[in-house]
Structure 1
Amino acid sequence: MASGLRWGVLGTADIARSQVVPAIQASTNGRVVAVAGRDPRRTADFAASFGIANTFRGYAELIASPDVDAVYIPLPNGLHVEWSLAAADAGKPVLCEKPLALTAKDARRVVDRFAAKGIPLMEGFMYRFHPQNARALELVAGGAIGTVREVRAHLSVDIMQAAASGNVRFDKALGGGSLLDMGCYAVNVVRRIFGEEPVAVMGDLDLDRTSGVDLAASALLLFSDGRSASVSSSFKANGQGTYQIIGTKGTIEVPRAFIPGMGSRAAEGLVIVVDADGHRVETRFEPVDQYRLMVEAFAGAVLSGRPVPYPARDGVDNLRVLDAIAVSAASGMRMEIKT
């Protein structure tokens, strides 16, 4: 691996085609050398588009290939566990799209397997690598807005037109629904800002009568000392991804928090701070490819033997909250979260 990390990609998902594979091919320390897919023609076209030398019909064959050092998994959510475990058993590091699994219990099983074998595993939350989000956390830690009392986070993309075309986001068996697909971002950033886990949640899901998946989700997360967060996600609203941090001495807003360019690979960032007197300061960040920053950080950790930047066990904790939101929505009751 001296010349860089040799990546294998399971599937030809849109996120792989539009974002992650271009990021890997542009990275300084890695290259996609293999792709596997169920449709030979689609897989061959995908490989040709990115100059990928090797194609495989089966995921297991790619994982077993001695030419592949690490595996990127952009498969539907419901397939993450099976193929992450297969990669772990083959000794291959994995960058897995979020969420790691459909439940915290299954995610824990995956994380424990990788930990027992000493193999790197990281969840693909690319927004964590954009400098605007690092800056927001620095401001919170530095007391720029006093003590954080409330956070509001939201992510939505209008994809309802894809419901009739077999899009996996509308397939309940494969882990579809806005909560797992987009709400996971809102929950993740809230947990990062507070630096602790919520003690209870109250959730609500807008369920589609045909598919059974949630088309929109919302929840109130309760933290210690009376602090709270509201999170929401939607397949039915215009593309937005934002969070606002409300403190005792002001607010911080990141208006393009998760997907700054809403489709563009490189987009500028913006952090807005308003103090208690109403003074507003905007900090803009040069356009960066947060996907490239993510894959370079992962590859750098694998190549050097260092821990990955964000421990995979965080994915278990994130799913514990998502599980509780789903249970609360189904029962209509507040759900306590036991850590």
Structure 2
Amino acid sequence: MRIGTLGAARITPTALIKPARAVPEVEVAAVAARDRSRAAEFAAKHGIPHVHGSYEDLVADPSLTAVYNPLPNALHAEWTLKAIEAGKHVLCEKPFTSNAAEARTVADAAARSGVVVMEAFHYRYHPLMERALEIVGTQLGEVRHVETWMCFPLPRFSDIRYSLKLGGGALMDAGCYAVHCLRTLGPGEPSVVAAAALTKSPGVDRAMAADLRFPGGATGRLHASMWSGQLLKIAARVEGERGSLHITNFVAPQFFHRMTVTVDGVRRRERVAGDATYTCQLRAFAAAVGQGTPPLTPPADSVANMTIIDDIYRKAGLPVRGAV
């Protein structure tokens, strides 16, 4: 699979270039940027053979099988749609789009075209989450509460992640993980009960908390922040009738993680080995493209995630991204 990357984003070396060295089916074959000199510099640094002077040229390149889309949030839908139209498979960074309506449009286009479109929730492809789901499904009994935290400090307020126009905000950046993990570990698709935000500027959340409810009555709560009193916490907790599961650092467990399980009053800790999450993700993308293996984060899942994000913004009294 020959893949081209749109832009010279900071995440690209970690999310694509380094993992491709461990996934022999994948070649990072091209890069494009609005500034061709920047693309050329990026290509030279990372050994990418072809440089395009525009996103349009990269998407149209007949030698490419797939496109990686790490552009700002507000551009995800536009360029994923253009890649689909060109017959390219797409690995799109999260959040999938600016809002649920855009996500449905992309999902419909992907279904019509038959190409693989996958949202880059890399943590979902690590064995840690597979083991966590096994524990939740077989050891905790009926789930009663799920809680997730994705909080980290980003005091650089000029960063595009604080731009309303570009689809920024704590819920979009950090919180999309918190929403996705809560949905993954919970018993069904939840609905939003209440939400409250701390804002950095009009419409832009620097922190968000939300309460949710699952169809069977279980409750959920999520916390997301880029700047708040909770400086750093990346974790998930599931409480069931027989016990609980707590995971520290579900997002990048290859660096460090702790999983504590308590069942019938007996507490234990587990560690789950595995490659880097981005390597697991790229391997899954290659398998979806080359072998037809269904991805764990397809467009339908992205629509459900963006629907919750939209609803949280509405409950918090903030505008849905892309609607202003």
Identify whether the pair has TM-score above 0.5, normalized to the shorter chain: yes
2:161 alignment partner in structure 1: 169
Partners of 1:222 and 1:76 in 2: CA distance: 31
Structure-to-structure mapping, 1:41-52, within 5 angstroms: 41-52=37-48
1:231 alignment partner in structure 2: 222
Instruction: Judge conservation of contact 1:268–1:284 (CA < 8 Å) in 2.
Output: no
Name the aligned partner's letter for residue 213 of structure 2: L
Partners of 1:191 and 1:215 in 2: CA distance: 22
Q: State yes or no: 1:244 paired with 2:237.
A: yes
Instruction: Judge conservation of contact 2:192–2:312 (CA < 8 Å) in 1.
Output: no
CA-to-aligned-CA distance 1:29-51 (integer Å, 9 cap, x gap): 10100011122332222112221
Name the aligned partner's letter for residue 232 of structure 1: H
Give the 3-state SS of the residue equivalent to 2:108 in structure 1. Answer: helix
Partners of 1:20 and 1:217 in 2: CA distance: 29
**Structure 1: unaligned runs, 5 residues or longer:** 261-265, 332-339
Q: State yes or no: 1:274 paired with 2:267.
A: no
Partners of 2:233 and 2:48 in 1: CA distance: 33
Instruction: Judge conservation of contact 2:169–2:205 (CA < 8 Å) in 1.
Output: yes
**Structure 2: unaligned runs, 5 residues or longer:** 319-324
Shift of 1:17: 2.5
1:148 alignment partner in structure 2: 143
Structure-to-structure mapping, 1:304-323, within 5 angstroms: 304-323=291-310
1:259 alignment partner in structure 2: 252
Structure-to-structure mapping, 1:28-67, within 5 angstroms: 28-67=24-63
Partners of 2:35 and 2:189 in 1: CA distance: 42
Instruction: Judge conservation of contact 2:120–2:297 (CA < 8 Å) in 1.
Output: no
Instruction: Judge conservation of contact 2:171–2:309 (CA < 8 Å) in 1.
Output: yes
TM-score (norm 1): 0.89
CA-to-aligned-CA distance 1:232-265 (integer Å, 9 cap, x gap): 10001433210011111111011111133xxxxx
Q: State yes or no: 1:216 paired with 2:203.
A: no
1:14 alignment partner in structure 2: 10
Cα RMSD, aligned residues only: 1.6
Instruction: Judge conservation of contact 1:16–1:74 (CA < 8 Å) in 2.
Output: yes
Partners of 1:8 and 1:218 in 2: CA distance: 37
Shift of 1:7: 0.6
1:337 alignment partner in structure 2: none
Structure-to-structure mapping, 1:6-155, within 5 angstroms: 6-142=2-138, 144-155=139-150
Give the 3-state SS of the residue equivalent to 1:42 in structure 2. Answer: helix
Percent identity between the two aligned chains: 36
CA-to-aligned-CA distance 1:101-157 (integer Å, 9 cap, x gap): 111111000110110111110100001011111111001111x12111001101012
Distance of aligned partners of 1:301 and 1:225 in 2 relative to their CA distance in 1, 3 Å threshold: closer
Shift of 1:79: 0.1
Instruction: Judge conservation of contact 1:104–1:320 (CA < 8 Å) in 2.
Output: yes
Partners of 1:190 and 1:303 in 2: CA distance: 30
1:335 alignment partner in structure 2: none
Partners of 1:19 and 1:100 in 2: CA distance: 15
Question: How many residue pairs are counted as aligned between the two chains?
Answer: 316
Q: Spell out structure 1 runs of 4+ moving beyond 4 A.
A: none
Partners of 2:238 and 2:221 in 1: CA distance: 11
Out of 178, 186, 208, the residue aligned to residue 170 of structure 2 is 178
Instruction: Judge conservation of contact 1:25–1:50 (CA < 8 Å) in 2.
Output: no
Name the aligned partner's letter for residue 214 of structure 1: D
Name the aligned partner's letter for residue 214 of structure 2: F
Instruction: Judge conservation of contact 2:191–2:308 (CA < 8 Å) in 1.
Output: no
Partners of 2:46 and 2:204 in 1: CA distance: 34
